[in-house]
Chain A
Amino acid sequence: MQNLAPPASLWRPSGATKIELLASATVALVCVGLIVYPLFFLLAESINVGDPQTFPPKDIGIDNFIDLSLDLTVLLNTAYVAIAATAMAIAAGFVLAWILTRTNVPGKALLERLLEIPFYLTPLVGALAWSILAAPKSGFLNQLLVTVVGVSDLLDIYTPFGIAWVMALFEGTVAFVMISAVMKSMDPSLEESSRVTGAGKLRTLFKITLPLVLPGLLGAIVFVFAEMLGSFAAALVLGLPGRFFVVTTAIWQYTLSYPPEYGKASALGLALFGVMFATLSFYRWMVRRGTFATISGKAFQPRPIDMGRARYGLAAICWLYVFVAVILPIAALLLTSCLRFATVIVDQMSFTLQNYETALTLDAVRSALTNSLELGIGVATVGVFVMAVLVWIIYRSRLPGRGAVEYVVMFPQSVPRMVFGLALLTAWLNIPIPLYGTLWVLAIAYFTVLMPLGVRTLSGVVLQIDKSLEECAQVCGATWAYRMRTITVPLLRPGLVAAWLLIFIASVREIGVSIYLMGPNSKVIAPAIVSSWSSAGTELTAAMAMIQTAAVLLAVLLLLSLTAKYFKGA
């Protein structure tokens, strides 16, 4: 029997032993260190005006920041596509979330699963697919339009709007997930009251539903906008043909040149960081404010609005989205992957399975896919438990500085992944431990950049568990470890499984960091696809993308079937 007294000491929160606290503090310090250490290199590089490959810099100055004025067009381009993509993602996410959570649309469960598929795809896959579909001369859709309506070049994906469209479809899925979560947690009694008092469905939507979800919606807008600012793949595949550069692709170009312009890339990245940091700080403020506005403690059973025959029209809208975001791109990729050379001109088409054969002989697929899956499983498994400890420290302990820990672990979300990757490259190259060039450095890097995702996912679950359950057990004499094992972890299990899945998928589709840290014996699949796209041809890249997509979907389905029981009732 110990710790019968209620928690009082700063260093003995919730009855944890000194060893447990020491272990927790160590975990927190290591995680913070993993983030702060590379940022130091990033800052140092941004003021390096001498040899970019000399560290520490010999010549320092602010020339790289002054040079940002030369990139004004790039900054404006970035703002344009981020705003357009956010607008499209939020509009689609809101409509789809409303249909699937608030109405009696048929096939709801299936549609929800299908709408999540773009999240499993590497953004590059979406960009590649849409370049096959809507390239002005050769896109399948344009060819179809020529045949049907006799008009050529009607669609052009190589435009800022095209880039934003692809970003919204494949990186904006998160908007649908976030808005759905808000709508699911909304008390429907207000909507019902509105309708009982004679308001129509649309009036109820705009006067009741929208204001109720507004805080969550604004949070989603800010979060998605920050995501879009750091987006890379769509701008790379679709921007270059249109001579359209955004910050991430400009950074990519700077780091590809020799001598590499790391200083300019870092300064440009830090400029983007400033904007992302501001928007994400605003997002966090909105979320905290919005939480109390949308979630009530009262138990309720959401009742969908009966849409009558209109529900079929609404289902059609969802299916149209599935067609545009899932079926059409995958079909285009599948067809292209079976061509000897990518073409949409029917009499030029020559079918073969050679691309799959070639892809499977490449290191870029064979070892890279295995490495990616191994890394995904490893990082997700270790990450979930470490991040759960972090969440416990941040939200349940009274450790001094826990607020700062929260702030720092969310930091990588504010830095464009490409820039963080550059910082990690410099940092891990210059550490006197031979980790660079191994899968270990990728594992550490993934863990570092995915900490915000894991912590955010797990914190949502932790905050739903009433502290009083742990306190009751403590009063009854249960030790910290016993309480964790018998109360906290079992309650967290669905959240842990969900977080595992999210981290696994995010690891397998990671590009920004991997592209810098991948070595000869540590190739991973997403950057290998980027490399293939830039050097090996569309048809081979399409085959690689299909193999990756199939592997990820299989892994996800396998995991879901193995863990189905943990999701029941979650």
Chain B
Amino acid sequence: MRQRILGLVGAASIFGLVAGNGQAQNAVCPSPNEVAGFRTCANIAKAEQEGKLVIYSTDVEQGQAKIVAAFSASFPKIKPTYVRALSASLYAKLQSERQAGQYLADLVNVDVVLANDFLKKNGYARYVSPQMAAFRSEFKSKPEGYFTWAQLAVAAIAYNPRLLAADQAPKAWGDILNPKYAGTMNVKSSNSGVQHFVWYTVREVMGKDFWKSLASQKPKAFDSYVQQYDRIVNGEDKIVIGAQYSGYLEFKAKGAPLDFVFPDQGVPASPQVWGVIDKAPNPEAARLFLDWFLSPIGQKVMQEALFLNSPRDDAVPPPGGVAASQHKLLFPSDWDGFLGSKREFNTEWDRITGLR
């Protein structure tokens, strides 16, 4: 719990979270409209006139497709399209485009490190959604309105009980260094924002050399949780380290043999951050989508499509799972340190996973 509190305090200091965000919100959007069951300050007529919406997202393809389909059902005059990639490559693509003066994307969803970088580069357009009142202050940018944590990827350890009996499975983070698991584990690649978050937060608990010791276990690295779970379901590996809880719920719903471990030391909850992009070609449609996505309706669609946890205060659990508030969540105690650790992580993780 101390870790969590430290994390939240750290987050508050980084994002400069203060009371009175509601005032800023009111200043920007004094009278939101109720439409399709949620409140928005977007100009709907203008959004429909724009008729398009381009989302750069890290969410898996089939989940993203469900989300945009649900939005389209409410707003059939707006045709959303998306580009899906890992956080780092998506952000690199976005930055390359903006560097060259090409503005194709309206909304972006990246990890928290990249979101802060984008904020520093004035990449976001400010829009204080009326939905933001339902999100804790530490889950938003300072000043409010640039970005919001819209998804939480809770990550810990998963295993296949057909290959590993419960009493043989790791129970705590330290257990994964047991030589008996050598060659049987997989992780995400260094391109993953979730993996960076897991690396940093667990290292704060377990010590600086913890992950370095994992190198001798020869974990294999993959770009997506889907590949990680595919491999333990098929018996190619036995354990997923940094396993996304959402992936576990998704595979479990399909009937895959899986168990999930929540170590007592806590579980990292990596935020996925959304915001409207500055110079977006379809800004009103972007605002409308953001309002819908952050609303209980959009968050429910998101949870059903992706099984991720919603950071909303009033969020219900994802299908088959439990709400994030039920877990002992790990956040960085030193947000500055975390935000500045990307390069160190890339180098260390590439070594651990055999790229270098």
| Cross-chain contact A256 with B257 (CB below 8 angstroms) | no
In the complex, whether B177 has a CB less than 8 A from a CB of chain A is no
> B104–A437 contact, CB under 8 A?
yes
Among A176-184, A203-211, A536-544, which stretch is in contact with chain B? A536-544
Complex contact A436–B255 (CB within 8 A): no
User: How far apart sit A39 and B346, CA to CA, in the bound complex (Å)?
Assistant: 28
Contact in complex: B234, A535 (CB < 8 Å): no
Looking at A30-38, A240-248, A307-315, A455-463, the stretch in contact with chain B turns out to be: A240-248
A552 at the interface (CB under 8 A from B): no
Query: Bound state CA distance, A257 and B355, in angstroms?
Result: 13
Partner-contacting stretch, out of B33-41, B80-88, B288-296: B80-88
Residues of B within 8 Å of A343, CB to CB, are: 233-234, 256
A250 to B69, CA, bound (A): 36
Cβ of B99: which chain A residues have Cβ within 8 Å of it? 53-55, 429
Q: B229-266, CB under 8 A of A: which get 1 and which 0?
A: 01101111000000000000001001111000000000
Is B213 interfacial (CB 8 A cutoff)?
no
Query: Which B residues are CB-close (under 8 A) to A260?
Result: 88-89, 92, 96
Whether the pair B220, A241 counts as a contact (CB closer than 8 A) is yes
Chain A residues with Cβ below 8 Å from B354 are: 243-245
Task: Check A258–B61 contact: CB distance below 8 A.
Answer: no
Q: Provide the B199-223 mask, 1 if CB < 8 A to any CB of A, else 0.
A: 0000000000000000000101111
The complex places the Cα of A157 from the Cα of B200 at a distance, in Å, of 34
With a cutoff of 8 Å between Cβ atoms, the chain A residues found around residue B43 in the complex are none
Closest to B52 in A: A521
Given A137-B235, A138-B234, A241-B231, the answer on whether A257 and B224 have CB atoms closer than 8 Å is no
Per-residue CB contact flags for chain B residues 93-114 toward chain A (1 = under 8 Å, else 0) read: 0011101101011000000001
CB distance from A486 to the nearest CB of B (A): 47
Shortest CB-to-CB span from B152 to chain A, Å, is 19
Choose from A258, A362, A363, A436 the contact partner of B89 (Cβ within 8 Å).
A258
B104 touches A253 (CB 8 A): no
User: What separation, in Å, do the CA atoms of A362 and B63 have in the docked complex?
Assistant: 10
A537: chain B residues within 8 A (beta carbon)? 226, 230
**B residues in contact with A534, CB < 8 Å:** 86, 222-224, 226-227
From known contacts A137-B236, A342-B230, A425-B96, infer whether A437 and B220 are also in contact, taking CB-CB under 8 Å: no
In the docked arrangement, what's the CA distance between A344 and B62, Å? 23
Is A563 an interface residue, CB under 8 A from the partner? no
- Inter-chain CA distance A259–B96, complex, in Å, is 11
Partner among A137, A256, A341, A358 whose Cβ is within 8 Å of the Cβ of B88: A256
A241-B220, A243-B218, A531-B85 as given contacts; A257 in contact with B96, CB under 8 Å = no
- Say how far A76's CB is from chain B's closest CB, in angstroms: 14
Q: Do A429 and B220 touch (CB < 8 A)?
A: no
Is the Cβ of A243 less than 8 Å from the Cβ of B353? yes
Identity of the chain A residue whose Cβ is nearest the Cβ of B69 in the assembled complex? A361
Tell me if A519 is interfacial: C-beta within 8 Å of chain B: yes
Shortest CB–CB separation between residue A559 and chain B, in angstroms? Answer: 30
- Knowing A241-B236, A341-B255, A519-B83, the reply to whether A257 touches B102 (Cβ < 8 A) is no
Assuming the contacts A138-B234, A253-B189, asked whether A429 and B96 have C-beta atoms less than 8 A apart, the reply is yes
Select from chain A the residue with minimum beta-carbon distance to B225.
A535
* A370 interface contact, C-beta 8 A: no
Q: Is B234 a contact partner of A344 (Cβ separation < 8 A)?
A: yes
**Within 8 Å of chain A (Cβ to Cβ): is B60?**
yes
CA distance A341 to B248 in the complex (A): 13
State whether A520 and B81 are in contact (beta carbons under 8 Å apart), knowing that A256-B88, A534-B227, A536-B61 are contacts in the complex: yes
Q: Answer yes or no: B65 CB below 8 A from chain A CBs.
A: yes
Q: Mark A542-563, 1 if CB is under 8 A from B, else 0.
A: 0000000000000000000000
Decide if B100 touches A429 in the complex (CB within 8 Å): yes
Least Cβ–Cβ distance between B96 and chain A, in angstroms? 6
Q: How large is the interface on B (under 10, 10 to 19, 20 to 34, 35 or more residues)?
A: 35 or more
User: Does the CB pair B102–A255 fall under 8 Å?
Assistant: no
Q: How far is the CA of A275 from the CA of B356 in the complex (A)?
A: 22
Which residues of the other chain, B, contact A253 by a CB distance below 8 angstroms?
189-191, 350, 355
B65 touches A361 (CB 8 A): yes
A364 to B227, CA, bound (A): 18
Query: Are B251 and A341 in contact (CB-based, < 8 A)?
Result: yes
Min Cβ gap A10→B in Å is 41
With A434-B102, A534-B223, A538-B230 already in contact, the answer to whether A258 and B342 are too (CB < 8 A) is: yes
Contact of B84 among A135, A342, A434, A531 (CB under 8 A): A531
Query: What chain A residues lie within 8 Å of B251 (beta carbons)?
Result: 341
Asked if residues B255 and A340 are in contact (CB atoms below 8 Å), the reply is yes
Q: Does B194 contact A (CB under 8 A)?
A: no
B146 within 8 A of A: no
In the complex, chain A residues whose CB is within 8 Å of the CB of B350: 253
Q: Report B337-353 CB contacts with A as 1/0, cut-off 8 Å.
A: 00000110010001001
Q: Is the CB of A535 within 8 A of B233?
A: no
Q: How far is the CB of A135 from chain B (nearest CB, A)?
A: 6
Q: By CB atoms of chain A within 10 A, which of B235, B251, B257 has the most?
A: B235
State which residues 304-347 of B face A: CB under 8 Å: 342-343, 346
Annotate A240-278 by CB proximity to B: 1 below 8 A, 0 otherwise. 111111000010010111111000000000000000000
> A-B pairs with the 9 shortest C-beta distances?
A243-B354, A138-B234, A258-B88, A429-B100, A137-B235, A260-B92, A256-B89, A534-B223, A535-B224
Interface residues of B (CB under 8 A from A): 54-56, 60-62, 65, 69, 81-89, 91-92, 95-97, 99-100, 102, 104-105, 114, 189-191, 218, 220-224, 226-227, 230-231, 233-236, 251, 254-257, 342-343, 346, 350, 353-356
- Give me 4 other A-B pairs in contact (C-beta within 8 A), A361-B69, A518-B83 excluded: A258-B88, A340-B255, A364-B61, A437-B104
What are 6 A-to-B residue pairs whose CB atoms are below 8 Å? Answer: A253-B350, A256-B88, A257-B191, A348-B257, A362-B61, A429-B97
